[in-house]
Structure 1
Amino acid sequence: MGGPLAAALALALPAAAASAVPPTFSAFEKRSSSGGDGASREDKAREDKAPPAAPRSAASARPRVAPPAASPSAEETPPARADAVDVEKQTYVVKPGDTLSRVAGKTGAAFMAIARENKIERPFIVRLGQKLKVPAGRYHLVRPGERGIAIARAYGVEWGRIAEINHLEEPFLLRAGERLLIPSTREVAGMSMEERAKAFHIDIDDLVTGNEPALAPKARPARPVRTAARPVPPGVPVAEPAQTFSGKFVWPVVGSIMRRYGLQPSGARNDGVNIRAQMGETVRAAADGVVAYAGDLAAFGKLVLIRHGGGWLTAYGHADSLLVTRGQAVKQGQPIARAGATGSAREPQLHFEIRDGRKPVNPMEWLPKRN
């Protein structure tokens, strides 16, 4: 997925952990790369002809869009408080007036952890006198506005690990007052320096699953806005797109392929494709959707993420400037950014990804065929 992430590490990573990161590729970069350093000779030899452009009109060719207010960098996420409570394995007998939520509050364990342990399904009804097994663990109480990636940083673990042990699913919304199971102190103490370094790396998957602020217990996510001039407040999560995704994408820019999807000759992995572009060239939305993120990320520079409904998401990295803001509804072909060489890129290009849920897929299998 990308180049070095020294900026992310510098925020909170101890010097000893930082020294464990290889000089060329970070721990997570070994798994995937944005290809920002340009294509290899083999890749360049296989360059394709320019793809068909997204639909344009005379009005959209030179959009008069005022630059949106600067979005905070993902690395600048407000910190969370590390005050998890250790809960011992126990048996709780349901008392008059108890609900599963109240049992969770009394014991300090996570609501869903108790439900899974006792095989209780929706609507999560418990019976008077029922004996509930309360699983042992280290539980964090989520506060209003906290983000998953900030919670993970507070405990020095990867957000992906917390999402995994809590069985989090789409749309990955946290609610204030709920509890999250945190890896045990023993597990954290046994982590290598390289694993500790990963806790301070933020990648696209982290933004997809752990960047929305925790919602108040009975509140609803904000509805998408029409323009960048009226952005969704940063402390409010954004609602999923209302429409059903059509399954059709268009090319976000016109250009040859600099680096393809998948494993590269260098051994790095690219979770998308890198498309050659002119500096300042218009980058267009590949499909209708809602902007989930518009800001900076160390490896990708200026980055836009768009949710399209049904778990589908597209990513647009290395932009020179952004034309949209988080929470903004966009149409297919709408200008969303200007191409550039930010992040790890050394020449103008667009790093483009398509994701089905958390899984990156090959964009070439979903974009229109070339002539």
Structure 2
Amino acid sequence: MGGRTTKRAAIAAMAISLSGCIPAGYAPYDYRPAPKRSDAQTVSRLPSTPPAWELRPVSADAKLVSASTYTVRHGDTLRGIANKTGAGSEAIARANHLSAPFTIYTGQKLTIPGGRYHRVKQGETGIAIARAYGVPWSQVIAANDLESPYILRVGQRILIPSTGPMTVAERAAAFNLDIEDIVTGGEPAIGRGDRPAKATASSARVLPPTVAVQPPARLSGPFAWPVEGAVLKGFGPGKSGERNDGITIAVPLDTPVRAAADGVVVYVGDDVPALGGIVILKHGDDYATVYGHASQLLVQRGQSVKRGQEIALSGDTGFADRPELHFEIRKGRKPIDPMTKLPHRS
């Protein structure tokens, strides 16, 4: 314990020195993720349950549907035709250029698009579905033209992109979880009449992982810096080709990490090994923020937070080789440079 304490003190002193000597901006050297250290901090969190994609695994039982033409009969509905053919109602609507309220008429000939269709069941997430079939969730989003907030519907049939024959082990190995997956594919499907849970200010509520979280509708106010410190690495590709979807900020160990804007917690955990302890907030208008390398996670999924509220303590977890905070701002599926949204610092 003494060696670890001494090491922490030395690293903390280095971080303080960096924050005083390096101006906010890009670091003069190229930061690379370090190998996982055997003495890395353990991420502590409030009592909670595993995420829905762990508790509700998916069976790869998609039905193969052949492309065909269907003639509409009296009393047919688009969803009823989907049930008869096995294709997704949304896929049929897209193939036939139908828009809401999806009016069809007797005798109309509809193109039924072929492919593998997975029928979504209660509590299933996009992450678990993509993992079951060994395909990137982003490809499932594209194949089905899914849009924010990316919450699936129980009974919905979604098209699974073809990957060729794969064993269960190969499918599992082919899927790599990333931040975009959690932001867009981490919420469980909802059934007819179900509503996502409204946020509460209390961290005492442990929301069941099979209940979706209702994100804010609108972004409230500008973004603020989550911590004070030097920016060690900026947004975008580095000299060695690695990509940073946010910025890396040097901070002493156990520095309070604060919400960059009002929002709702949609994820707390450490399921992306490179980033260690992570908090993800949604803020409305398709904005989300990500806070990585935390040592302590102080909020709960489904909790509402205010700008400036303490949500975590900084650490050196994940692949960090110094105390630091990884910070992202995302608009929909795309990360954007946080420096374009944060207040200017001298």
Q: Under a length normalisation based on structure 1, what TM-score does the superposition of the two structures give?
A: 0.78
Q: Does 1:110 align with 2:85?
A: no
Match of 2:269 among 280, 295, 307: 295
Match of 1:262 among 233, 236, 252: 236
Q: Give, in angstroms, the shift of residue 256 of structure 1.
A: 0.8
- Separation in 1, partners of 2:213, 2:70: 37
Partner-residue secondary structure (3-state), 2:164 = helix
- Shifted more, 73-82 versus 119-128: the winner is 73-82
Match of 1:241 among 199, 203, 216: 216
Aligned to 1:162: 140
Q: Does 1:351 align with 2:326?
A: yes
Q: Give the 5 Å matches for 1:61-210.
A: 68-72=46-50, 76=54, 78-184=56-162, 187-189=163-165, 199-210=174-185
- Report if the CA contact (8 A) 2:46-2:298 is conserved: yes
Call closer, same or farther: CA 1:198–1:261 in 2, change over 3 Å. farther
Q: Give, in angstroms, the shift of residue 358 of structure 1.
A: 1.1
Partner-residue secondary structure (3-state), 2:274 = coil
Q: Give, in angstroms, the shift of residue 49 of structure 1.
A: 5.0
Partner-residue secondary structure (3-state), 1:133 = strand
How many equivalent residue pairs? 308
- Report if the CA contact (8 A) 1:156-1:188 is conserved: no
- Report if the CA contact (8 A) 1:157-1:188 is conserved: no
Partner-residue secondary structure (3-state), 2:181 = helix
- Separation in 2, partners of 1:108, 1:116: 15
Aligned to 1:35: none
- Separation in 2, partners of 1:324, 1:148: 24
- Separation in 2, partners of 1:166, 1:173: 13
- Report if the CA contact (8 A) 1:159-1:210 is conserved: yes
Partner-residue secondary structure (3-state), 2:248 = strand
Q: Under a length normalisation based on structure 2, what TM-score does the superposition of the two structures give?
A: 0.84
- Separation in 2, partners of 1:196, 1:254: 42
Identical counterparts, % of pairs = 51
Q: Note the alpha carbon deviations across 1:149-191, whole angstroms, 9 max, x for none.
A: 111111111111111101111000101100010112xx4349x
Q: Does 1:320 align with 2:298?
A: no
Over the aligned positions, Cα root-mean-square deviation in angstroms equals 2.4
Aligned to 1:336: 311
Q: Give, in angstroms, the shift of residue 70 of structure 1.
A: 3.6
Q: Give, in angstroms, the shift of residue 246 of structure 1.
A: 3.6
- Report if the CA contact (8 A) 1:99-1:126 is conserved: yes
Q: Give, in angstroms, the shift of residue 197 of structure 1.
A: 7.7
- Report if the CA contact (8 A) 1:272-1:353 is conserved: yes
Q: Extract structure 1 runs of 4+ deviating beyond 6 A.
A: 195-198
- Report if the CA contact (8 A) 2:53-2:127 is conserved: no
Partner-residue secondary structure (3-state), 1:208 = helix
Q: Give, in angstroms, the shift of residue 220 of structure 1.
A: 1.1
- Report if the CA contact (8 A) 1:283-1:337 is conserved: yes
Partner-residue secondary structure (3-state), 1:342 = coil
Match of 1:363 among 327, 338, 344: 338
Partner-residue secondary structure (3-state), 2:142 = helix
